[in-house]
């Protein structure tokens, strides 16, 4: 019960702090005496990237620039005072409308599942490459780059072309069957390659195949099967 009560108090405190913070943010145009009245609208435009927010941000920014210039020139009069008040009120209204745009993370559109899958695959490949560079022995144990071993570690579809068979080169990298068969035979005859540069120089493989699969290709030290 104590733990649950503590969690509830923390949640309540966090909610209050968030509301106070949002309130202070909305009052920036007034608290800054209109000098920063443009700030909430600029932040809303940065999040939403819409023409409406862009126009609002430009108008308020221009008004603030006039206020600052007038202050530097010791301007006065009813017109200048009205500009300060109008800019502050305009910034306050803009801040009230912009608050959910700037702070409500739920307003962010969901990524398309296909796009999310691509991004997730890239991140998994990045992490797998880090393991390979930092600890090659672990990479071997995890089966990184070895779809033929069907291990439990998801490396995002990396392909160790120093070890996989021609079937995987065709399926995973889209190589033509003849090129894949020839490459594997030559690779095993040479007992593997030390680098992609060596492959390009000695294997007779079409360089475009390496370029096309660069995001997925890795090269671990050759181990005879």
What integer pLDDT is reported at residue 13 of this predicted model? 61
Same domain flag for 103 and 7: yes
Number of domains within the chain:
2
Mean pLDDT value of segment 124-143: 94
Same domain flag for 91 and 119: no
Residue 141 has pLDDT above 90, yes or no: yes
Of 77, 107, 137, the last residue of a domain is: 107
Distance CA 170, CA 141 (A): 24
Place of tokens 């005879």: 224
What integer pLDDT is reported at residue 22 of this predicted model? 84
Answer yes or no: is 100 within a domain. yes
Of 107, 137, 163, the last residue of a domain is: 107
What integer pLDDT is reported at residue 112 of this predicted model? 84
Answer yes or no: is 224 within a domain. no
Task: Reduce the secondary structure of 22-82 to three states and give it as a string.
Answer: HHHHHCHHHHCCCCCCCHHHHHHHHHHCCHHHHHHHHHHHHHHHHHHHHHHCCCCCHHHHH
Same domain flag for 6 and 64: yes
What integer pLDDT is reported at residue 1 of this predicted model? 45
User: How many degrees, rounded to 5, is the angle at CA 174 between CA 173 and CA 179?
Assistant: 100
Same domain flag for 127 and 209: yes
Token pair in block for residue 24 = 């202070």
Domain of residue 6, residue span:
2-107
Same domain flag for 98 and 125: no
Of 56, 77, 107, the last residue of a domain is: 107
Answer yes or no: is 225 within a domain. no
Residue 6 has pLDDT above 70, yes or no: no
Mean pLDDT value of segment 57-86: 88
Q: Rounded to an integer, what is the distance from CA 92 to the centroid of its chain?
A: 32
Same domain flag for 59 and 135: no
**Least confident range of 94-108, 184-198, 206-220:** 94-108
Answer yes or no: is 7 within a domain. yes
Tell me: the pLDDT tens digits for 21-59?
888 998 999 899 889 999 999 999 998 889 999 999 999
- 26: which residues sit within 8 A by CB, 6+ positions away? 40, 92, 95, 96, 99
Same domain flag for 82 and 143: no
Answer yes or no: is 131 within a domain. yes
Same domain flag for 80 and 137: no
Distance CA 70, CA 203 (A): 73
């Amino acid at each position: 019960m104590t733990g649950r009560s503590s969690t509830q108090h923390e949640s309540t405190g966090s909610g209050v702090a968030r509301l106070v913070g949002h309130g202070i943010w909305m009052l920036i145009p007034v608290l800054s005496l209109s000098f920063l009245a443009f700030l909430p609208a600029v932040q809303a435009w940065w999040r939403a990237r819409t023409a409406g927010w862009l126009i609002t941000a430009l108008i308020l920014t221009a008004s603030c620039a006039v206020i600052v210039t007038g202050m530097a020139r010791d301007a006065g009069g009813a017109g200048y005072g009205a500009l300060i008040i109008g800019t502050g009120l305009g910034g306050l209204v803009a801040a009230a409308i912009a608050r959910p745009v700037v702070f409500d993370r739920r307003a962010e559109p969901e990524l398309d599942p296909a796009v999310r899958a691509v991004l997730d695959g890239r991140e998994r490949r990045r992490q797998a490459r880090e393991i390979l560079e930092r600890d090659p022995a672990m990479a071997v144990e995890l089966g990184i780059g070895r779809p033929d071993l069907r291990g439990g570690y998801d490396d995002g579809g990396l392909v160790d072309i120093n070890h996989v068979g021609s079937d995987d080169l065709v399926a995973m990298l889209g190589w033509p069957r003849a090129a894949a068969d020839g490459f594997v035979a030559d690779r095993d005859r040479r007992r593997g390659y030390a680098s992609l540069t060596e492959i390009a120089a000695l294997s007779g493989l079409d360089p475009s195949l390496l370029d096309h699969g660069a995001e997925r290709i890795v090269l671990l030290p050759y181990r005879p099967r």
